[in-house]
Structure 1
């Protein structure tokens, strides 16, 4: 016999709940929206060639707010977005990043990594950090201060920040701007340069702006659905 289901009743001591706000859509509308979303995202490309055209700060704020809607471990929202539109600071950021990248490309990079980067044309020169009008650095918060004043861990901070970054990138693309995901290695210098506390760790650097008129991207292609997905579908 199957055991009787157990229902756990929430008490007044629990965090209050509110009704889910959800809009049901007709199937045809759902399909149309899904196809449009995929069509628009399929045009997204990582871009290293930026125009110096300015970008309204409100657009960056809305991209950050969009990224911050991401699901995250225990709703701790373990991220800090540092948005930079400051020529002097961007120069310092580029100099520090290129210092580490030169070591990576000349000393640290294993052959297997170099093998897959070569077709993409990357090198230690990171002009995008000064060419783009904005640079956003995403930090994950490894700890949080508890109500009793003690420091406790956050949970799934890396995964949470990864999801948030993806939603941020979609927002940037959706508004008509371009970006790229840059991970200088190691990234410890970013905490000091951007005056972040010890419990925060940089995970991603994203220059943002309009593409240069002569911007070029590698002639590469994405995997097909059959190459990336496995379905267990009893109705097919």
Structure 2
């Protein structure tokens, strides 16, 4: 079976001076270091165009075989958000009342989480990232998708970075199980909910846990060469 190769075009790349590269790296790190996950949102309206740009940014993520196996479903309808919250809280109550193992509950304790998910109804937008487990050809037959979990994870990271960069806040929420989202939002059988992200301004009295991120030497290992081996 033959395949048609995609045409290639010149790479649009600007070679920057190293001092400018360092300034950009430092500036972006400083901005992202300020990023925190909050569960306290304001209901202040957010322009739709901002969410559209965040999704466009997420859509630039690399993906397996460039199949872009993601669908971003954006909800601002109060009725749907209410139904979503009710279903999420029902699942979470079961989780906190016995479905989660003690070790998981212990890990969550410093974050102050519980079964109440008011962020779903308070934030002006809730964005659900669905992972396309497989694709559908025009004739309805299945098309295998590759590395869908990795691809959606990268896209989610770019979405979160874009939201923070524009001055908004978001939360990564994975109510488990998440099957109710597929039914509520009428998604096709080839899509599975991957991540729920409320988006908006933080509430004026928003608070976050006093946590520290691991330093560079705890999250990186370097093989620089020049050793005796």
TM bucket, shorter chain: over 0.9
Assess, with a 3 A threshold, how the Cα gap between structure 1 residues 148 and 82 changes in structure 2: closer, same or farther: closer
CA positional deviation for 1:153: 1.7
The answer to whether 1:41 aligns with 2:37 is no
Assess, with a 3 A threshold, how the Cα gap between structure 1 residues 225 and 57 changes in structure 2: closer, same or farther: same
Q: CA RMSD in A?
A: 1.4
Assess, with a 3 A threshold, how the Cα gap between structure 1 residues 17 and 206 changes in structure 2: closer, same or farther: same
User: Which residue of 2 is the match for residue 55 of structure 1?
Assistant: 46
CA positional deviation for 1:146: 3.5
User: Which residue of 1 is the match for residue 212 of structure 2?
Assistant: 221
Unaligned runs of 5+ in 2: none
Match of 2:162 among 171, 176, 199: 171
Runs of 4+ in 1 over 4 A off after TM superposition: none
Tell me how far apart the structure 2 counterparts of residues 127 and 232 of structure 1 sit (CA, whole Å): 46
User: Which residue of 2 is the match for residue 182 of structure 1?
Assistant: 173
The answer to whether 1:119 aligns with 2:105 is no
Tell me how far apart the structure 2 counterparts of residues 15 and 226 of structure 1 sit (CA, whole Å): 41
Unaligned runs of 5+ in 1: 1-11
CA positional deviation for 1:150: 2.1
Assess, with a 3 A threshold, how the Cα gap between structure 1 residues 235 and 70 changes in structure 2: closer, same or farther: farther
Assess, with a 3 A threshold, how the Cα gap between structure 1 residues 142 and 121 changes in structure 2: closer, same or farther: same
The answer to whether 1:200 aligns with 2:191 is yes
Q: Deviations over 1:39-76 (max 9, x none)?
A: 00000000110011000000000000000100000000
| Partner secondary structure for residue 34 of structure 2 | coil
Q: Deviations over 1:149-206 (max 9, x none)?
A: 5212210001100000000000000000000100000000000000100110001000
Assess, with a 3 A threshold, how the Cα gap between structure 1 residues 157 and 226 changes in structure 2: closer, same or farther: same
Structure ID, larger Rg: 1
User: Which residue of 1 is the match for residue 149 of structure 2?
Assistant: 158
Assess, with a 3 A threshold, how the Cα gap between structure 1 residues 103 and 20 changes in structure 2: closer, same or farther: same
Aligned residues: 225
TM-score, normalised via structure 1 length = 0.93
Tell me how far apart the structure 2 counterparts of residues 139 and 146 of structure 1 sit (CA, whole Å): 18
